[in-house]
Structure formats: structure tokens, C-alpha cells
Amino acid sequence: MPPWPYIAHLHLTEHTEGRRRRDRHPKASRAPKRNHKMGNEESTMADESLTPETLSGRNLKAVADYIKAGKAERIVVMTDRDQPPMAKFLQRENTSASPSRPPADPSAVPDFRSPGTGLYANLARLKLPYAEAVFDIDYFRKHPEPFYCLAKELYPGHFHPTVSHAFIALLAHKGLLLMNFTQNIDCLERRAGVPSDLIIEAHGSFATQRCIACQAPFPDDAMRRHVLDEVVPRCADAACSGSGGGDGGGGGGLVKPDIVFFGEALPARFRDNTHLAARADLVLVLGTSLSVYPFAGLPEHARPGVPRLLLNRERVGRVGQRADDVV
């Protein structure tokens, strides 16, 4: 479990309490576009020889003191499914995961890429041609059943926010959160109390859903029933021209949660707001592999001298190369 209680229980300075939320988002010019490559990015070793310029030291206490002193008023937080602590996929039968009793691992949300235990390593039961097919839009159009079998395991309601989620909500309550960029699709940030307008879900989420043929929204309660019953939902709009797909056939177009599948573009809201990282005075990277662009490039937008904190199972990305990086 990450040591967020250590930071959260430090009383933030009084002048930060109650900052008006509109003050966090003044209009600002976008940062210059960067020609980042797409795909995976290897991590680099931290340069331990650098002396910090902004922080009092390269440690967690120095970051906490920086926040407490009122120097971090526009914090950008990055979260991912690897955010510690994360449970192993399909091990919920060995826990007591239920709405009334959270498991020992408070979140119990599966991660995607942990060798041998991540989501992709546990899909043999779905008999897919390749693991990633479950999130491939072309495969989904023809065979939506595997996704909806898996969706029952991932659907909001099974899992619980962690102390990390609560810390992000605390930052929002104090008026310090500029934006929470997340690769999570589980809506736990929302459930923890982070306002939806301060969350950018880079890969979408289960919060909304729509027909992939006519784009008509689909009711939340109906979606939940279909997912829990492992029934492929179809558009009920009389004007929908979509049909077919899946073993059931017939009906309207296929309905899909607003999760970004392989073959789909990232949400416009993510693309239009990456410049916010250049306005931050503190960047917190919590449990992400920093392996896939453009999400992985967000910390690089931080201005020189802005502290960047990485809390992760292992060292990833390029955080650690600057004097005020804490790993």
C-alpha cells in the first residue's frame, strides 16, 4: 500500500482550503506539440547525483513539505490499473470481494500486463485467437460475447476505492487538483469522490455506453442488467440501422461501454487537455507502466523545476532524470 496516509494526514496550509475551483483552470496557451513516438517506451535509470532545486530533498517527506507549504496549487495526478495495491486477476474467489466487505487488497481490480497474473494472462477460458482480441473493435463487431463475459468481472460495483483514490479526492476537496489523468476504466476515482470534471479517462470507462452503429446512448440500468447476466446489449432506438454481430444476431446495433478498444481513437477530451501537464506545479505518477504513448508522455510536459513523484512497483519511464524527481 502506498504511503499516502503520511501525506494526507499532514495538514495542508490554511490558505489552500476552499480555493475556488474556477481558479484552477484559467485559459492558457497550449504547450508546443511534441513529436513523441507511439508505442512502448523503455525506462531509464534515475540520476541519483542530481541535487534538487525546488524540493528540500529527493524523498517523500520533501514532497509532503512542498504541498504543506502551499507551493503545489495545481497538481496533476496520473493513475493506471497498475496503481498499487492491485489484486491479481481472477483471484477474487480467494477473497471476500463484495459491496459489503472489501477484500484485504482494497481495490482488487485486475491489472493488464503483470506476467502470469495480469488480465491478458488469464483469458484462456474465453478461447480467443489472441489475448488482446477481447478489446479489439473489429473482433468485437463479430464476436462481442467474450468481452461481455469478461465485462462481468470488471464492471463497477465489484471493486472498492483504495487510500490512493481517497488521497486524490482529498486533493480535489482542497482545491489543489488540476486534473487526474487515468488509464483506469473502473470508475473508482469517481466513486472515491473525485469530481468528474477533474478526471480525464484516457481509455474511457464504464461510466457511459452507446450503440456503435448509431451512437445512441444506452440506459445505465439496462446496461448493468445485461452485463451481470452476460447478455450482449443491443440498441433499442427504432431508427438504428445496425444489426447482426454475435451469436444472438438480430436486433439493433451492438452496444459497447465507452472504453477505448484497439482500433479506436483516444477521447478528444484527453487529446485536448494534455497541455495541462505543462501548467502543473507538481506531477504525481501513481502505479503506471509509462509504457504506451501518448499517456506515457504526460510527465515530460512538466516544466523544468516542477517536482515529479513516481510511486510504482518498479522504476518506469523517464521520471528520475531531473533534479526534482522523486522515485
Catalytically annotated residues: 203
How many C-beta atoms surround the C-beta of residue 265 within 10 A?
8
Measured CA distances, 177 to 67, 75, 127 (Å): 12, 5, 43
Ligand-binding annotation for 214, yes or no, is yes
Question: Burial of 207 by CB count in 10 Å (0-12 exposed, 13-18 middle, 19+ buried)?
Answer: middle
Rounded distance between C-alpha atoms, residue 79 and residue 191, angstroms: 15
Report the distance separating Cα 17 and Cα 284, nearest Å: 20
Residues 298 and 78 sit within 8 Å (Cβ to Cβ): yes
The residues, ordered by sequence, that sit 6+ positions from 14 with a Cβ below 8 Å of its Cβ are none
187 is in an annotated binding site: no
Q: Which of 286, 17, 68, 26 is nearest to 173 (CA)?
A: 17
Distance between first and last Cα of the chain: 15
- Identify whether the C-beta of residue 34 lies closer than 8 Å to the C-beta of residue 297: yes
**In the block, residue with C-alpha cell 508505442:** 39
Helices (H), 31-162: 60-68, 137-142, 145-154
Under a CB-based contact definition with an 8 Å cutoff, are residues 84 and 312 in contact?
yes
What sign does the dihedral 71-62-171-277 (CA atoms) show?
positive
Contact 121, 174 (CB under 8 A): no
211 known member of a binding site: yes
Q: What are the cell numbers at 189?
A: 476515482
| Residue 149, marked binder | no
Neighbours of 163 (CB within 10 A): 17
Residues making up the annotated binding site are: 211, 214, 235, 240
Residues making up the annotated binding site for Zn(2+) are: 211, 214, 235, 240
